Amino acid sequence: MERIWTDHLTVRHHECGPDAKLKLNSLFDYLQDAAAGHADHLGVGIQFLAEHRMLWVLSRVKLRIARMPAIGERICVTTYPSGPEKIFATRQYAVCDEKGELIIYGTSFWLLLDGAKFRPLKPLQHLGNALPANGDQIRYFSGLDKLEGNPAVSELREYTVSHSMIDVNRHLNNAYYAFFTNDALGMMSGAFRSVSEIQVNFNHSGALGDRIVCRGSLSSGCFYVDGRSPDGSVTFFQASGAVNDL
């Protein structure tokens, strides 16, 4: 069993925006694919958990992005579990370029849920020692908290979760929250923007037909974006961070 997982990838045309660099949602896809691949490898992937009526839910991610890789660039996406924090199982990410330089890194917080009651379970108790603790490895961020709402947000765009957005878990692919955030940054600044740091909190999964109203604010290079149901009763996600200068 590999306690540290590495995907070797080449950045493809369709994954890039007009600057020929990896798009934010494609980065989120890379990270989730690596996490899913590793969980499968460790025997605690989607299929195993479904059979045992449990599921992994991504709760929070925080990333620092020194630079996005470009079309054709060969990169390594490394990920490893890094022990519990509060009720979460944590997992680290590192993206290195061909020279071995660390260009993106971050931390994710996951919940292991009871598939019937949707209550959080303690991963160590229910998965035994399937998840290596990797105590000797770097932990990039800790204490990924709830994000404060921002009263200054403007309403930007409404999305409807469509068939093509639904993933193997039968929910909106989480990377769409990065997609919506990138759209919001574009709309608020009137330009294609890239981010240097971002935290996304995944508060509620999107189902087919759900309508998600995105709102945001951008001030002094810092942004806050969220997506809620039209009546405001459900917050699907919140994102905050910093954009690069143009």
184, 183, 216, 224: which is closest to 200 by C-alpha?
A: 224
CA 163, distance to chain mean position in Å, is 20
45, 40, 28, 33: which is closest to 8 by C-alpha?
A: 33
Q: How far is the CB of 157 from its own copies (least distance, A)?
A: 7
Of 54 and 142, which has the nearer Cβ to its own copies? 54
DSSP 68: P
Which residues of this chain interact with its own copies, rule CB under 8 A? 12-14, 16-18, 20, 23-25, 29, 32-33, 36-37, 40, 71-72, 157, 160, 162-164, 166-170, 173, 175, 179-180, 182-183, 185-187, 192
Of 124 and 242, which has the nearer Cβ to its own copies? 242
Distance separating alpha carbons of residues 116 and 96, to the nearest angstrom: 39
Distances (CA, A) of 17 to 14, 26, 71, 179: 8, 10, 9, 12
Of 125 and 164, which has the nearer Cβ to its own copies? 164
Of 147 and 178, which has the nearer Cβ to its own copies? 178
Of 166 and 234, which has the nearer Cβ to its own copies? 166
Distance separating alpha carbons of residues 14 and 71, to the nearest angstrom: 9
Of 32 and 59, which has the nearer Cβ to its own copies? 32
Extract the tokens encoding 97. 């370029």
148, 201, 208: which is closest to 172 by C-alpha?
A: 208
Q: How far is the CB of 40 from its own copies (least distance, A)?
A: 8
Q: How far is the CB of 50 from its own copies (least distance, A)?
A: 12
Extract the tokens encoding 105. 């890194």
Q: How far is the CB of 147 from its own copies (least distance, A)?
A: 21
Of 124 and 166, which has the nearer Cβ to its own copies? 166
Sign of CA dihedral 116, 120, 121, 124: positive
Q: How far is the CB of 158 from its own copies (least distance, A)?
A: 10
Q: Where do the H-state alpha helices sit in the chain?
A: 24-41, 46-51, 123-127, 175-189
Residues counted in the chain: 246
Q: How far is the CB of 39 from its own copies (least distance, A)?
A: 10
Q: How far is the CB of 73 from its own copies (least distance, A)?
A: 13
